[in-house]
Structure 1
Amino acid sequence: MTEPACRAHPGGLRDLHAAGHQIEAHGRWHRHALRLTPWQEWAQIAWHPHPDRRGPHLYRPPYGGHSLLTRPIAHLTGRQIALWDVESRDWTAQPAAALAAHTLAHIRPGSVILLHDGPQVTPELLGALLTGLRERGLTPVTLNDLRPHRIGLREGWARLRGSYGG
């Protein structure tokens, strides 16, 4: 979650946490790392919705964007970068059923699906995705339940093209 979203919906944040959802940081601002000064990027990565929480904190950079400083800052602030491999495209004007079909076509065991907390279509899309996952025998889990793995530059570019180009 971004800092403005947490400030705007503190009750929702508490409800999500109480329901057992994993809440991690998306930064203070929804800006690509290349549009931040180094000290802004430090503040972006170091911020967390639950600063008193123990253990590693995950950080999902807006747009998945990195600068040359992103990973070193993440390391120095005790963050791990969390990305996705399936983009739901819930930010487009497509109906939930079409978005769900597209998203489910790209899912494989261990996939991380990117959804957003702003679009009106997202709750309906999430319901359709959960149904589709159950029909495939897949169980949704938190990021802490997945084994982290590094991706190389080639896979990163392929994911970026797949998210926004096809």
Structure 2
Amino acid sequence: MTAPACHAHPEALRALHAAGHQVEAHGRWHRHALLLPPWREWAQVAWHPRAGQGGPHLYRPPYGGHSPLTRLLARLHGRQIALWDVESRDWTDRPARELAAQTLARTRPGSVILLHDGPQVTPELLDALLTGLRERGLSPVTLNALRPHRIGLREGWTRLRGSYGG
């Protein structure tokens, strides 16, 4: 979650925690790392909705964007970068059923599906995705339940093109 979302909806944040969901940082501001001077990126990476609660925390940079400093700053703050491999495209004007079919077609065991908290289609899309995952014998899990792995430049580029290119 971003800092403004946490401040605007503290009851939702408490409810997510109470329900056992993993809530991680998406930055203080929803700004691409390349648009931030280093001291602002430092603050961007440092912020976390569970500040002071210990443990390694995850950070998903807005837009998945990195500057040359992003990974170093994350490491200095004890954060791990968390990205996705399937973009739901819930920010488009397509109907939930169409988005769900396209998202499920790209989903594999261990996939991380990117959804957003603003679009009106997202709750309906989430319901369709959960149904589709169950039909395929897959279950949603928290990011902590997945084995982290590094991706190289080629895989990163392929993911980026797959997310936004079509």
- Which TM-score tier does this pair reach, normalised by the shorter chain? over 0.9
Deviation at 1:127, TM superposition (A): 0.3
Match in the other structure for 1:83: 83
Is structure 2 residue 101 aligned with structure 1 residue 95? no
Is structure 2 residue 52 aligned with structure 1 residue 67? no
Encode CA deviations 1:69-120: one digit per residue, 9 max, x unaligned.
Answer: 0000000010000000000000000010000000000000000000000001
| Matched ranges for 1:1-166 at <5 A | 1-166=1-166
Unaligned 5+ segments in structure 1 are none
- Partners of 2:101 and 2:80 in 1: how far apart? 30
Q: Quick check: 50-59 or 18-27, which moved more? A: 50-59
The amino acid that maps onto 2:74 is: A
The amino acid that maps onto 1:100 is: A
The amino acid that maps onto 1:83 is: L
Give secondary structure in 1 for the equivalent of 2:58.
strand
Q: CA RMSD in A?
A: 0.4
- Partners of 2:66 and 2:90 in 1: how far apart? 22
- Partners of 2:110 and 2:98 in 1: how far apart? 22
Deviation at 1:59, TM superposition (A): 0.1
The amino acid that maps onto 2:29 is: W
Q: Which runs of 4+ in 1 moved over 3 A?
A: none
- Partners of 1:144 and 1:57 in 2: how far apart? 10
Deviation at 1:53, TM superposition (A): 1.6
Percent of pairs identical after alignment? 81
The amino acid that maps onto 1:63 is: Y
Unaligned 5+ segments in structure 2 are none
The amino acid that maps onto 1:115 is: L
